[in-house]
Amino acid sequence: MKKSRRRTIKKHHGPKKHKKQTKRVKHFTAVKSVKVPWRPFEAKDLLSLKEVYAQDLSMVFKLAEKIKKNPQSFYGKLKGRSLALLFQKPSIRTRVSFQVGMAQLGGHSVYMDPQEEPLGERESIKDVARVLSRYCDAVVTRTYHHSDTTELAGYATIPVINGLSDLYHPCQTLADLFTIRERFGGLEKMNIAYIGDGNNVLNSLLFGASKVGANLAIATPRGYEPSEEIMRDIKLIAKESGSKITLSNNPFTAIKNAHAIYTDVWVSMGQEKQREQRVRDFQPFQVNGAIIGKAPKDSVIMHCLPAHRGEEVTDEVIEHPRSVIFDQVENRLHTQKALLVILLTRKKKK
């Protein structure tokens, strides 16, 4: 009986093929993921600060510091290189800082007037991207629609730098964070208060601050907050970096413990029809003597310019001894020079 039972059990075992399949499955699930090392500015372009790493930002700031201290040592760094400035919007700071910066690095820039070359009208965006890629080494855009910038970057084989779009203003944030770093000696745990519209400047500041570990307290009127989509992204980044991001409708709450108080215009280009409504909604959010009087005594005042004196900020605040507004202006030059050097001298992927 015992022998018969053992033979019966043996007959009902599954085929050997089944055992081999099981082993293969176990081997597959045991494979470990490989950690990819950081490479400076992995993306070809700078379209927003969403795509960059904290190490990228640190790299820009360290190089900008060297350039600012000793600009002569960088003369000729981009000799023979060309930069196209493709703008839909007029500009002072973006245009002049990039043109002067490129010249100081030994390169050349070509400004394309929006009247002469309206993006996507006389020629398709993808054709413009391909043409500029054959002539130039990089392109700076300044567009009404961020989708135009991303489309251009998608077809260009050279770096595309977002000089401003309706969604982001990354070059401004590079200068802003560099200014705070320069003033206070670092960025981690710095408290930035932003009072005003949830616009492109704030969107970029959110990504920049959260990636470097700075805290950002935002005060906007109801209905003018940053988008839920952006705030979801920021929440994940802040959790990893330790940055604290808060949102309120009270400017006096935002400035508590602030190292920097930042504001921007209430009515941006393209929003002129909303002017009356916006001025009414934002009036309680003006950065004035009352705000500065309640802020910490070592806090600095920031504005990306152009400023509408008497609206979002008073004349006395712009001219205040603690204003670093024109330091921000100057630092556009140094941080953008650093960015150009990094993007145009990095090793290409094999």
Give the per-residue pLDDT at 270. Answer: 78
Which class does domain 172-267+276-330 fall in?
alpha beta
Alpha-carbon span 103 to 161, nearest angstrom: 17
C-beta of residue 131 within 8 angstroms of C-beta of residue 152 = no
The overall average pLDDT reported for the chain is 90
Q: What is the pLDDT of residue 225?
A: 97
pLDDT for the residue 4: 44
Mean pLDDT of 72-85: 98
Give the model's confidence band at 20: pLDDT under 50 very low, under 70 low, under 90 confident, else very high: very low
Query: What is the rounded CA–CA span in Å between residue 278 and residue 313?
Result: 15
Q: Output phi, psi for 302, to 5 deg.
A: -130, 145
The 10 Å Cβ neighbour count of residue 298 is: 10
Q: What is the CATH number of domain 75-168?
A: 3.40.50.1370
pTM of the prediction? 0.88
Would you say residue 323 has pLDDT above 80?
yes
Is residue 187 over pLDDT 90? Answer: yes
For residues 83-105, average pLDDT: 96
pLDDT at 181 over 70: yes
Catalytic residue numbers, as ranges: 142, 169, 172, 264, 304, 332
pLDDT at site 349: 60
CA triple 300-338-94, angle to 5 deg:
65
Same fold, 75-168 and 172-267+276-330: yes
Q: How would you write 272-321 as a 3-class SS string?
A: HHHHHHHHHHHHHHCECHHHHHHCCCCCEEEECCCCCECCCECHHHHCCC
d(CA 199, CA 208): 14
- pLDDT given at position 36: 60
Q: What is the mean pLDDT of residues 339-350?
A: 86
- For residue range 115-147, list pLDDT tens digits in order: 777 787 889 999 999 999 999 999 999 999 999
Confidence of residue 105 (pLDDT cuts 50, 70, 90): very high
Say which range, 4-18, 57-71, 82-96, 298-312, has the weakest mean pLDDT: 4-18
Q: Examine the pLDDT at 218 and tell me if it is beyond 70.
A: yes
Domain boundaries, the chain: 75-168, 172-267+276-330
Q: Is the pLDDT of residue 164 over 50?
A: yes
- 215 has which bridge partners? 191
* Whole-number Å distance between alpha carbons of 331 and 305: 13
pLDDT at 3 over 90: no
The residue behind tokens 């960088």 is: 74
